Structure 1
Amino acid sequence: MIRKHADDVPAEEIKKPGVSGMHARFLLTADDGCPRYALRLMEFAPGGHSPWHRHKEEHEVYILEGEGVVVGDDKEKTPVGAGDALYILPCENHMFMNTGEGMLKMICTVPLFPGMSGKDTTPCDE
């Protein structure tokens, strides 16, 4: 068994085009010996957002705290908050945005494709 506390996993700033105020704590990944899924804690500062993107991995997301919106293929801004669960399909365009005054925190899982660590995802055009 592996046990970690989220506070003991450093928050890594995500520095990619289209990203603002986003950090990730890679709680459990292939680096820990996880064979099938990675567990990540994503944190968005007020006004922060992910890029508009898509990838081959599905997402299962659980909102822990804060207020925001998720934008999907339909371009609709769907409000999300603590207690909401989301399923993002493989290759579905999506974007997360913090619309609240506090932090937006979410648990995000992704499957581990061969050769992937769980820190990055696989573009749909590969």
Structure 2
Amino acid sequence: MRVISYEEVEAKEVEEGSKIRIRWLNTGGSKNFAVRLFEIEPGGYSPHHSHSWEHEIFVLEGNGTVIGNEGAEAFSIGDMISIPSEETHQIKNTGKSSLKFLCIIPK
């Protein structure tokens, strides 16, 4: 078992997109999945993209819109977002404060 503070993990800026930082919150203990903390400033967004893996998102702070193959859907604090593998998607911060969420992906 290992406990770390997210503040110990370096935040990396995302070049493509706008106003995004990511922290990989890996303690080294999990063999099957990874957890990332995303912080998107107001007006920021991820690029339209897809992955070969599915992933789950849990919203910690703020609100926004997720755009997928079936259109756009608003979300806010406490919401879960499930994104299937190969689905093109984008996340936008539509609020006036920072959007923070955990993104869980397979390794």
Would you call these one fold, judging by a TM-score over 0.5? yes
What is the match of residue 51 of structure 1? 47
Deviating above 3 A after TM superposition, structure 1's stretches of 4 or more consecutive aligned residues are: none
1:72 aligns with 2:68: yes
- Counterpart AA for 2:91: F
What is the match of residue 28 of structure 1? 26
- The two structures have a TM-score, normalised by structure 1, of 0.81
Identity of aligned residues (%): 38
- The two structures have a TM-score, normalised by structure 2, of 0.94
Shift of 1:34: 2.7
RMSD: 1.2
1:90 aligns with 2:85: yes
Does structure 1 retain, via aligned residues, the 8 Å contact 2:58–2:81?
yes
Shift of 1:7: 1.6
Q: How many residues align?
A: 107
| Runs of 5+ unmatched residues, structure 2 | none
| Runs of 5+ unmatched residues, structure 1 | 113-126
